[in-house]
Amino acid sequence: MPRAVREQQMLDAAVQIFGQRGYMAASMDEIAELAGVSKPLVYLYLNSKEDLFTACIRREATALTRAVRAGVRTDLPADRQLWDGLRAFFQHTAEHPDAWSVLHLQARTHGEPFAAEAAAMRTEIVSFVTRLVAVAAREAHRDPDLPEHEVAGLAEALVGAAESLAAWANTTPGVTARQAASTLMNFAWSGLGALMRGRRWTPPPEGVV
Over residues 134-167, the pLDDT tens digits come to 877 666 665 556 667 777 888 899 999 999 999 9
How much of the chain exceeds pLDDT 70, in percent?
Answer: 89
- 195 pLDDT band, cuts 50/70/90, is very low
Give the CATH number, domain containing residue 113.
1.10.357.10
pLDDT for 144: 58
Contact 7, 43 (CB under 8 A): no
pLDDT for 146: 63
Count of domains forming the chain: 1
Answer whether residue 19 shows pLDDT above 70. yes
With respect to residue 39, please indicate whether it lies within any of the assigned structural domains.
no
With respect to residue 202, please indicate whether it lies within any of the assigned structural domains.
no
Using CA atoms, how far residue 138 sits from 74, 83, 143, 192, in Å, is 15, 16, 5, 19
Answer whether residue 86 shows pLDDT above 50. yes
Nearest to 180 by CA among 193, 169, 167: 169
With respect to residue 10, please indicate whether it lies within any of the assigned structural domains.
no
pLDDT for 207: 74
How much of the chain exceeds pLDDT 90, in percent?
Answer: 64
- 208 pLDDT band, cuts 50/70/90, is low
Q: Average pLDDT of the chain?
A: 88
pTM of the model: 0.86
With respect to residue 185, please indicate whether it lies within any of the assigned structural domains.
yes
With respect to residue 41, please indicate whether it lies within any of the assigned structural domains.
no
With respect to residue 8, please indicate whether it lies within any of the assigned structural domains.
no
Helical spans, DSSP H, in 47-111: 49-70, 78-95, 97-101
With respect to residue 21, please indicate whether it lies within any of the assigned structural domains.
no
The more confident residue out of 132 and 63 is: 63
pLDDT for 137: 67
Write out the residue range of the structural domain in which residue 172 sits: 53-196
Instruction: Please name the amino acid found at residue 111.
Output: G
Distance separating alpha carbons of residues 203 and 87, to the nearest angstrom: 10
With respect to residue 128, please indicate whether it lies within any of the assigned structural domains.
yes
In tens, the pLDDT along 44-59 reads 999 999 999 999 999 9
